[in-house]
């Protein structure tokens, strides 16, 4: 089963391993000025202008279907930016709005976390007090149709159909264990606050934290979750299992802030690019939330981008031990630059390096302990029964606990590994 990352991202983070996004909030004109280098901007030559005009004219006159001039210009811009690398792209107004929603930690939808199945979406959990929960959607339900249209092979498009204006409704056909016929649900969309951090106690002495992606609210959620569980514990935790499996990345600053919470001092990440804004170093500030508490990080081949920044920083500083499989290997930073008419470009502006100077581009981060396991179904941490038996259901969590207890990690008999995270809608 392939697990997608944050579903509200509508494919921007999950495509080819996710992105690290650097914030760029200037107005379009200011952005253009900020990006001007000392080099003179050479205009198109007469030959280049004629070449573009010739192709445009041929397409408009002879292509089998009529294509409007704005459509052709949009397609040309997509090709111009998208041809640079797999992570740069041109965003029209709708796509840019979706991307801004994806990193804000709130959106209009029905409030469910899902993983992908064969031509269906499996509900990992409905969010507490969400429209989906109020309508009766349950963990384990399989969504087979949305507004009468089968989910089909394009799962990103299917998830997008569950989003919509606040107060509007969406009809879901759901297959449920024990039911021979699909169940029909009509769910009214509402504003949903997304929390990308889930944290529970293990064995009353350890913490398990799952970060599904990095949005603007991730670092705050991480700190508040630790504070909440610390209040319920009689003593300091003996260790932390930090699950970054299938985390595709997200907002650069959020990943750095989480690393800062677990480091007292030192470089977290450096980046190098052509412009002054693209060259930077981010360092930890004094003060740890869990000083002296050992950390084991779970990673796999879908741990990417900002998640790799966090894992690499903690590994280089010997603050955490990595367990699992080699990570994805995306070592570049994308800056989202607003344009006129609500559009934007997402442009690769930097390559980043871990504190020791490692570039992970194309290689990834090798774990300290290889742990080959089968990615299974993600678990609903809102379910009290799951929380109580997580270590016995998830091979990765079980192995991480073994490491924290000083034993060689190995899966218990009959276990499979949980896939870690899943998207929400």
What's the rounded Cα separation, in Å, for the pair 199 and 182? 33
What's the rounded Cα separation, in Å, for the pair 234 and 97? 45
- CATH superfamily of the domain spanning 106-193: PDZ domain (2.30.42.10)
Query: Residue 171 is inside which H or E element, if any?
Result: strand 169-175
Tokens 């349950």 correspond to 138
What's the rounded Cα separation, in Å, for the pair 320 and 295? 5
Quickly count: other Cβ atoms within 10 Å of residue 376's Cβ: 18
- Domain 197-331+347-404, what fold? 2-enoyl-CoA Hydratase; Chain A, domain 1 (3.90.226)
- Decide: 379 and 390 in contact? Cβ < 8 Å: yes
Tens digit of pLDDT for each residue in 225-254? 999 999 988 889 999 999 999 888 988 999
Q: Which residues of 26-58 are buried (b: 16+ CB within 10 A; e: fewer)?
A: eeeeebeeebeeeeeeeeeeeeeeeeeeeeeee
* Residues annotated as part of the active site: 305, 316, 330
Would you give the DSSP letter of residue 424? Answer: B
- Decide: 316 and 356 in contact? Cβ < 8 Å: yes
Q: What are phi and psi of 352, to 5 degrees?
A: -105, 160
Strands (E), 247-289: 250-251, 267-272, 280-283
The two tokens of residue 269 are 């990440």
Instruction: Say what the pTM is.
Output: 0.76
What's the rounded Cα separation, in Å, for the pair 89 and 86? 8
Q: Which own/partner contact pairs does 265-268 have at CB distance under 8 Å and 24+ positions apart?
A: 266/317, 266/355, 267/313, 267/355, 268/309, 268/313, 268/355
Would you give the DSSP letter of residue 44? Answer: P
- Decide: 130 and 112 in contact? Cβ < 8 Å: yes
Q: What is the gyration radius of the CA atoms in the chain, in angstroms?
A: 23
> How far, in Å, are 94, 249, 250 from residue 99 at the CA level?
9, 13, 10
- According to DSSP, the residues that pair with 250 across neighbouring strands are 20, 214
What's the rounded Cα separation, in Å, for the pair 189 and 185? 12
Length of the chain: 425
Query: Residue 262 is inside which H or E element, if any?
Result: helix 252-262
Q: What are phi and psi of 149, to 5 degrees?
A: -100, 130
Each of the 425 residues of the chain gets a pLDDT tens digit; together they read 333 322 222 222 323 335 666 654 443 333 333 333 334 456 788 898 899 889 988 998 999 999 888 888 899 999 999 999 999 999 998 888 878 776 666 778 898 878 777 778 888 778 878 899 999 999 889 999 999 999 887 776 787 788 888 999 999 999 999 898 999 999 999 988 777 898 989 888 999 999 988 988 899 999 999 999 999 888 899 999 999 998 889 889 999 999 999 999 999 999 999 999 999 999 999 999 999 999 999 999 989 999 999 999 999 999 999 999 999 999 998 999 999 999 999 999 999 999 999 999 999 999 999 987 645 556 666 666 666 667 677 888 889 999 999 887 665 444 544 444 434 34
Widest distance between CA atoms in the chain: 76
Would you give the DSSP letter of residue 17? Answer: G
Residue-by-residue DSSP string for 315-340: HHTTSEEEEES------EEEEEEE-G
Q: Is 350 helix (H, G, I), strand (E, B) or coil?
A: strand
Sequence ranges of the domains in the chain: 106-193, 197-331+347-404
Tens digit of pLDDT for each residue in 282-319? 999 999 999 999 999 999 998 999 999 999 999 999 99
């Amino acid at each position: 089963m392939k697990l997608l990352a944050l579903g509200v991202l509508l494919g921007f983070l999950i495509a080819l391993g996710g992105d690290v996004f650097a914030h760029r909030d200037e107005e379009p004109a200011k952005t253009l000025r900020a990006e001007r280098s000392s080099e003179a901007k050479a205009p198109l030559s007469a030959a280049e202008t004629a070449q573009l005009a010739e192709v445009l004219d041929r397409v408009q006159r002879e292509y089998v279907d009529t294509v409007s001039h704005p459509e052709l210009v949009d397609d040309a811009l997509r090709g111009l930016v998208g041809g640079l690398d797999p992570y740069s792209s041109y965003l029209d107004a709708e796509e840019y709005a979706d991307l801004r929603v994806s990193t804000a930690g709130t959106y209009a939808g029905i409030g469910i976390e899902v993983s992908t199945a064969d031509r269906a979406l499996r509900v990992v959990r409905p969010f507490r007090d969400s429209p989906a929960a109020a309508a009766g959607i349950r963990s384990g339900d399989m969504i087979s149709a949305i507004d009468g249209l089968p989910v089909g092979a394009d799962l990103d498009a299917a998830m997008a159909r569950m989003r919509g204006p606040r107060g509007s409704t969406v009809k879901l056909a759901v297959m449920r264990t024990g039911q021979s016929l699909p169940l029909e649900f009509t769910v009214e969309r509402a504003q949903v606050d997304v929390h990308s951090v889930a944290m529970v106690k293990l064995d009353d002495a350890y913490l398990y934290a799952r970060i599904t992606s990095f949005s603007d609210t991730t670092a705050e959620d991480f700190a508040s979750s630790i504070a909440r569980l610390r209040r319920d514990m009689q003593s300091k935790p003996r260790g932390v299992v930090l699950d970054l499996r299938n985390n595709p990345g997200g907002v650069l600053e959020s990943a750095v802030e989480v690393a800062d919470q677990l480091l007292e001092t030192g470089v977290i990440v450096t980046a190098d690019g052509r412009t002054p804004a693209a060259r930077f170093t981010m360092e930890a500030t004094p003060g740890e939330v869990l000083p002296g508490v050992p950390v084991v990080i779970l990673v796999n081949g879908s741990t990417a981008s900002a998640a790799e920044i966090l894992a690499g920083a903690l590994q280089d500083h010997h603050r955490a031990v990595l367990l699992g499989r080699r990570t994805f290997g995306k070592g570049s930073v994308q800056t989202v630059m607003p344009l006129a008419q609500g559009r934007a470009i997402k442009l690769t502006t930097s390559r980043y390096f871990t504190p020791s100077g490692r570039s992970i581009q194309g290689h990834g981060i090798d774990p300290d302990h290889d742990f080959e396991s089968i990615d299974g179904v993600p678990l609903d941490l809102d379910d009290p029964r799951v929380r109580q038996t997580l270590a016995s259901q998830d091979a990765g969590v079980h192995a991480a606990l073994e490491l924290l207890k000083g034993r060689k990690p190995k899966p218990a008999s009959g276990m499979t590994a949980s896939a870690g995270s899943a998207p929400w809608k």
